[in-house]
Structure 1
Amino acid sequence: MLLEINNLSKSFGGLQALNGVTFDVRMGVVQALIGPNGAGKTTCFNLISGILPPSSGSIRLDGRELSYLPPHRIARLGLARTFQNIQLFSGLSVLENVLVGQHLHLHGNLLATLLNLPAVRRQERRSADFARELLDFVGLADKEHWAADSLAYGDQRRLEIARAMALNPRLLLLDEPAAGMNPRETEDLMALIDNIQQRHITVLLIEHDMNLVMNISSRIVVFDQGRVIAQGPPKAIRQNPQVIEAYLGREEEDGDV
């Protein structure tokens, strides 16, 4: 099992954001977390990635306990993420944004960099080559010199995914990657996530687009009011009465399923 979440809880003062959450993620799959707004999904991502410490419970990545580790150490262990609100470096180019994503894997010291030693130059060339490979992978190869904030919204989402992949993660967390996308962009995103899985990267995503979730996920975990109320394959989740009552029924009324 790649990721194991056991009895995870988080409180903010008197607010219980997560209460005894337990689920796991097998290696090589695409798995989704769904649920109403405020159900605790992003809080769960923030705990897994080390942005917040848990109040109690366990988070293990490939058997290694992550609870209370800082984000950079968790990233070194093979976990990367994107955010619900796009967080690009707007003053940098598209290529430079991806290069930033490689910083944990770069080696060298200040003196070697100042002297521009051959080893430093070779490392910079390798980094640039890998960044360009990722831009080609997400469909942005022709825009490497553009300013990141000049990209269309869907392309900014793809750039954020490329930057996360620059960490060479084993587990990639995507927080509402289809938010704000039109139907064509969403279809392209589905194809991209499938290609990421083909690279043997495990994907755990939060998403409200049920068409995307049902079509790309092998397993779905459903949150409601800080608890897991169901988990299983898409067909079972779609037919689960508790899930329909808590979430899917509301989405159907809004025409989103």
Structure 2
Amino acid sequence: MARFPLLISGKELSAHLGEQNLIVVDVGKSTVYSQAHIPGAIHVDYRRLQKGELPVPGLAPALEDVAALLTEIGVTPETHVVAYDDEGGTRAARFLWLLDAFSHQHFSFLDGGIHAWLAEDLPYEVEPAVATSVQYPLTSLIAKPQINLDYLLNHYRDEDVQIWDARTPEEFSGERVMAQRRGHIPGAINYNWENAIDRANDDRVRNIDIIRTELNRAGISGDKKIITHCQTHHRSSFTWLLGKILGFDIIGYPGAWAEWGNHPATPVATLYQTEDLSS
């Protein structure tokens, strides 16, 4: 089987459907999946990709739960997984982030998801695909160290660290409040994840060089360690993936603003002031 790029087009993928050690995963809404999905694509419920416990739902599931999911859908350590969704890529990116977090090495993101696939008049199915379960060895799932609250509190001011806030400008500024506290991590740089996709071009990723220029203009140069987050590490899974495509040294913060913004003593900033309760 050919090696696939991290960002793969529908035409590239269509030429390899049905190959051994290739599984296509649909992480979109079940209602959309039942109307049209890529032939053979296995549907995965997004809720299985996060721990889901309030107030910090975005943490990764337990290793045993990840192993059970991969076993159920027929993924082995050698399987190349291509993920897509119907909402611009955030759900698919979360699935790929989870694979990476547990050291699965072979995966790609389908550019544009089901919308671009159908726009290219590629084949689709409506009947659900049935997975053939294959045991994924627990010994092959190695949980990588993740960014947690304590680490971020100790390192968010480091000169060689940049915080990429993938939320909307309104959330970043504090105008829209989705936690007990408003605003952003002091020093964080805001580049909304949605700026990177082209809604008028069937949700495909915009020109990578243009995105790189926009990020550089915002202050995300790619020459530092980048930590990205949103509210629950849903949208920032996409910016994590985008950073990987751009060749950045990037890692996600799964606790995200749900953790930082609900903590009583974390430093926060709005466009108007900074409140530091950590000292």
In terms of fraction of residues, the more strand-rich structure is: 1
Give the TM-score band, short-chain normalised: under 0.3
- The TM-score with structure 1 as length reference comes to 0.26
Q: TM-score, normalised by structure 2?
A: 0.25
Richer in helix (by share): 1
